[in-house]
Amino acid sequence: MNIGEAARASGVSAKMIRHYESVGLLAAAPRTDAGYRQYSERDVHTLGFIRHARDLGFGIPQIGELLSLWQDRGRSSRQVKALAQAHIEALERKVQELQAMKTTLSHLVDCCHGDDRPDCPILDGLAQDDPPGSCCPPRR
């Protein structure tokens, strides 16, 4: 099947298929005499695996590791679990960072009148040397 068909079958865009080939997650597809890439059902299955891993937030290096483990029938599940657990820990750190950003931004929004006045605690907070949101200017 050509790249468009592989894209439809796998749920991965043609652009991303080319990208995954360029970074080594997917073997370079053989080409027809006319230069068109040709993909097999196995390639589509691999693309589905990559898409699912991306949907879970794994990065390209981790997906490469997961693919290697998936293709190695002699691997232990311990390796896979360790990789997934490390990703969970990274996601938990990211959730904490996002929550801190939300808290800070919510504080700045609460301090802003949102009216026709030019003074804006949100912009003032972003312009501070300290992290934004440390305090609200007094309301007038």
Express each pLDDT in 18-49 by its tens digit.
Answer: 999 999 999 999 999 999 999 999 999 999 99
User: For the residues 57-71, what does the mean pLDDT come to?
Assistant: 97
Map residue 31 onto helix, strand or coil.
Answer: strand
CB neighbours of 69 closer than 8 A, spacing ≥ 6?
75, 79, 80, 83
Domain extent listing, the chain: 1-75, 87-140
pLDDT in tens, 80-103: 999 999 999 999 999 999 999 999
Judged against a pLDDT cut of 70, whether residue 138 lies above it is answered with no
Confidence of residue 136 (pLDDT cuts 50, 70, 90): low
Residue with the larger pLDDT of the pair 114 and 17: 17
Query: What percentage of the chain has pLDDT greater than the value 70?
Result: 93
Q: Please give the class, per CATH, of domain 1-75.
A: mainly alpha
Map residue 37 onto helix, strand or coil.
Answer: strand
Judged against a pLDDT cut of 90, whether residue 56 lies above it is answered with yes
- Residue 83, beta-bridge partner list: none
Residue with tokens 């080409």: 31
Judged against a pLDDT cut of 50, whether residue 140 lies above it is answered with no
Contact indicator for 64, 29 with CB cutoff of 8 Å: no
Residue with tokens 């657990």: 85
Residue 27 CA to residue 39 CA, distance in Å, equals 10
Judged against a pLDDT cut of 90, whether residue 131 lies above it is answered with no
**Whole-structure pTM value:** 0.80
Burial 85-107 (b: 16+ CB within 10 A, else e): eebeeeeeeeeeeeeeeeeeeeb
